[in-house]
Structure 1
Amino acid sequence: MNGQDGSISTTSPCVVVAGGGTAGHIEPALALADAVRRLRPDARVVALGTARGLETKIVPARGYQLELIPPVPLPRKPSPDLLKLPLKVRGAIKQTREIFERHRASVVVGFGGYVALPAYLAARGRVPIVVHEANARAGLANKVGAKFAAAVAAAVPGSGLPDAKVLGIPLRRSITSLDRMSLRAEARRHFGLHPTAPTLLVVGGSQGAQSLNNAVSGAAVALGQAGIGVLHAHGPKNSLAVQGVPGAPIYQPVPYLERMDLAYAAADVVLCRSGAMTVAEVSAVGLPAVFVPLPHGNGEQALNGQPIVDAGGALMINDADLTPRSVIDTVIPLLRDAERIAKMGAAAQGSGHREADEALARVVLGVMKG
């Protein structure tokens, strides 16, 4: 909230969220921002990001101010880049502190990744810090931030961060308040899908996933013959050619899904990666899932999805095992079993955290300076 002369208010609190890079970091930060504004309408929210992240599009579109700092990528393994890290961090910390001072930051909330580390180091000893870990296994930035944070929150137990309060992942209200059944007819009209056929949603993240694309498109004829419709987000840099079946429900390929709420409402089952945000969203809306964890990193995607699988709300297929045949043998029988889908949906929803946004906002407001 700025004064009439453009100056920054000295009375309204300022929450700085650091969650740039990927949608998995940005979306929880903005869901928290929305919750803070609901609970404290006088609060200002400023987002930290870098010029190369998705935040340059997402944050302004959601009505929040974005401040850019230099990216500080964190090497997963020892490399020459590790030797350059102290110099990069020092420059990023200096710029970040200037942002904190200019906006009179009351609290800094980090969600991990290469924006969070300089934010934590710049805030240390100056501004209260709250850390939120979305993944089942904490990353380096959050491990550092947790050492001097006023409060630490996590999506699931066992993240590796000491004394973390398990709250779930903050999600947009358009997701947590979603009534899939009441929106189904509208959602299927929106995407041009069959109004009543069992429908599979396929989404491999914002950029798509080639293994998911190949496996499901390779099973297109069998899916059509089984009377199953498909909404397939293949990624903006990919193309998808599928063989249709005359008279069968449509197989609808799209580059990207702007309306994930409608995509979830249109679907009976989703086949997807198991990033932390995806797992949180599909469980919150009660959508049965077939998780195909990304076979890279430190194995966190498999860990993210396992609690939903254990609860009976999802299945899991290894990326190496995902083929047209596995789609035919596993996904088609599931989509043709309405009773099983209903039980899995209830189990998934019972594992979700629909109020994580406001729960985290209360923690943040509770430690806020001043």
Structure 2
Amino acid sequence: MSDSKVQSVVLAGGGTAGHVNPLLAVADELRARQPEAKVLVLGTTTGLEADLVPARGYQLWPVPRVPLPRRPSVDLLTLPGKLSAAVHAAEAAIDEIGAQVVVGFGGYVSTPAYLAARRRGVPVVIHEQNARPGLANKLGARWAARVGLTFEGTPLKGGVVTGLPLRSEIAALVTAREADAAGTRVAAADALGLDPTRPTVLVTGGSSGALSLNTAVAGAAGALLASGAQVLHLTGKGKDGPVRSAVAHLGGAVETGRYQVREYLSEMHLALALADLVVARSGAGTVCELAALGLPAVYVPLPVGNGEQRLNAAPLVTAGGGVLVDDADLTPAWVAQQVPALLGDTGRLAAMAEAARKTGVRDAAARVADLVEQAAGEGAR
């Protein structure tokens, strides 16, 4: 840890949970080190940050949303005006608290934050959550004082691996499981109405759900239950209907909760406390949280975008902490054949859990806060 406490900091990163959760984890760490620190968070009034940031006790400083067009379009014509307004808003935030450092986590509000910091002569610290960096962080890394990476090999100049700062509920679960894994599991099962003694499969496609995961797992429901397992299936908002229809023939198993269907679960840490195996997409947050918790998983990368989900899961899968399945290959037949076999092989499951735990980083928020303190110290000099 450096010896330069941060008295004032602007943090930028909105739009998705993948940006907001690490931002809040680092903000909490900085405030724990310096309770009197002035903290401003740049964000839009429409993203997740509009709710999450004030709820955590931080002031949200509104910045206009400026998506950077990935290819030539009419949006390029309006970009200069929009970007200028956003940079001015970010400069005003820096001036408001006399920020020593600007910390960015990527996304729409980070580009104006980096440009404003450069104009004000304030050092920039970047954290990149994905194995393949986004446009904002590629730009900011050109003059950043420090760059933190979630994954080894991410192509950003000067990057050091910090891991992904864990949201507070997951960090608390890591601690609780280390202290009393069995008790934590029983308490979670009780809260969810599930059986702590049964092997438990958690299915989650993220906040928006994943149609292919829903279809494949629901189609294999009979085989999963026949193996003695129970399933907690989080379908995503508005996507539970087809899953409920697909498993309706199970009758008593659904009624007794052995195959539990929910649109979403706000207390996701309870599901993770109980899970023996997770079937999920491989967003950076998911991969890092499951690794930190030592949870084996079947990762199904999102088949769109720039391919970062496959890269996110690759190191963990190579280490033996998970299984990677292409979206097109995840069928009811694959799930019915592979998942019960994996659950039944307790030796392999334990080895996967240990491999996942070894790749997991549990102190990433502290590592990023160290980078922020280092940059602040150099800026002060």
TM-score, structure 1 as length reference: 0.93
Q: Partner residue of 1:3?
A: none
Q: Partner residue of 2:59?
A: 65
Q: Does 1:324 align with 2:325?
A: no
Q: Partner residue of 2:280?
A: 272
Matches within 5 A, 1:112-131: 112-126=106-120, 127-131=122-126
Q: Partner residue of 2:322?
A: 314
Q: 1:250, 1:312 → 2: CA distance? A: 29
Q: Does 1:259 align with 2:267?
A: yes
Contact map agreement 1:270 1:287 (CA 8 A) in 2: yes
Query: How far 1:249 sits from its partner (Å)?
Result: 6.4
Query: How far 1:226 sits from its partner (Å)?
Result: 1.7
Q: 1:88, 1:237 → 2: CA distance? A: 34
Q: CA deviation digits over 1:105-137, x for unaligned, max 9?
A: 221110111111111111114221101111101
Identity of aligned residues (%): 51
Q: 2:211, 2:103 → 1: CA distance? A: 34
Q: 1:340, 1:246 → 2: CA distance? A: 31
1:146 to 131, 141, 164: 141
Please identify runs of 4+ aligned residues in structure 1 that moved more than 3 A. Answer: 245-249
SS of equivalent to 1:124: helix
Contact map agreement 1:228 1:249 (CA 8 A) in 2: no
Q: Does 1:208 align with 2:209?
A: yes
SS of equivalent to 2:266: coil
Contact map agreement 1:72 1:89 (CA 8 A) in 2: yes
SS of equivalent to 1:67: strand
Query: How far 1:32 sits from its partner (Å)?
Result: 0.5
Q: 1:102, 1:47 → 2: CA distance? A: 12
Q: 2:373, 2:223 → 1: CA distance? A: 53
Q: Partner residue of 1:7?
A: none
Q: 2:293, 2:44 → 1: CA distance? A: 31
1:110 maps to amino acid: G
SS of equivalent to 2:11: strand
1:212 maps to amino acid: L
TM-score, structure 2 as length reference: 0.91
Query: How far 1:195 sits from its partner (Å)?
Result: 2.2
1:67 maps to amino acid: W
C-alpha RMSD over aligned residues: 1.7
Structure 1 residues 237 and 46 mapped into 2: Cα distance closer, same or farther (>3 Å)? farther
Query: How far 1:103 sits from its partner (Å)?
Result: 2.4
Contact map agreement 1:224 1:249 (CA 8 A) in 2: no
Contact map agreement 2:219 2:332 (CA 8 A) in 1: yes
Q: 2:314, 2:141 → 1: CA distance? A: 25
With 146-155 and 71-80 compared, the bigger mean Cα shift is at: 71-80
SS of equivalent to 2:231: strand
1:155 maps to amino acid: T
2:21 to 27, 36, 52: 27
Q: Does 1:366 align with 2:374?
A: yes
Q: Does 1:52 align with 2:46?
A: yes
Q: CA deviation digits over 1:264-310, x for unaligned, max 9?
A: 11100111110111111000000001100011111000000010000
With 349-358 and 123-132 compared, the bigger mean Cα shift is at: 123-132
Q: Partner residue of 2:362?
A: 354
Q: 1:245, 1:194 → 2: CA distance? A: 18
1:40 to 34, 44, 47: 34
Q: Partner residue of 2:163?
A: 168
Structure 1 residues 12 and 39 mapped into 2: Cα distance closer, same or farther (>3 Å)? closer
1:341 to 349, 353, 356: 349
2:339 maps to amino acid: V
Aligned residues: 360
SS of equivalent to 1:114: coil
Q: Does 1:137 align with 2:129?
A: no
Contact map agreement 2:6 2:30 (CA 8 A) in 1: no
Q: 2:69, 2:183 → 1: CA distance? A: 46
Contact map agreement 2:217 2:332 (CA 8 A) in 1: yes
Q: 1:92, 1:225 → 2: CA distance? A: 56
Unpaired runs of 5+ residues, structure 2, are none
Q: Partner residue of 2:220?
A: 219
1:250 maps to amino acid: R
2:150 to 152, 155, 169: 155
Contact map agreement 2:14 2:48 (CA 8 A) in 1: yes
Query: How far 1:12 sits from its partner (Å)?
Result: 7.8
Contact map agreement 2:6 2:373 (CA 8 A) in 1: no
Q: 2:367, 2:63 → 1: CA distance? A: 28
Q: 1:60, 1:233 → 2: CA distance? A: 27
Unpaired runs of 5+ residues, structure 1, are 1-10
Q: Does 1:302 align with 2:302?
A: no
Contact map agreement 2:25 2:365 (CA 8 A) in 1: yes
Q: CA deviation digits over 1:218-249, x for unaligned, max 9?
A: 11122122211111111123223123254686
Q: Partner residue of 2:235?
A: 234
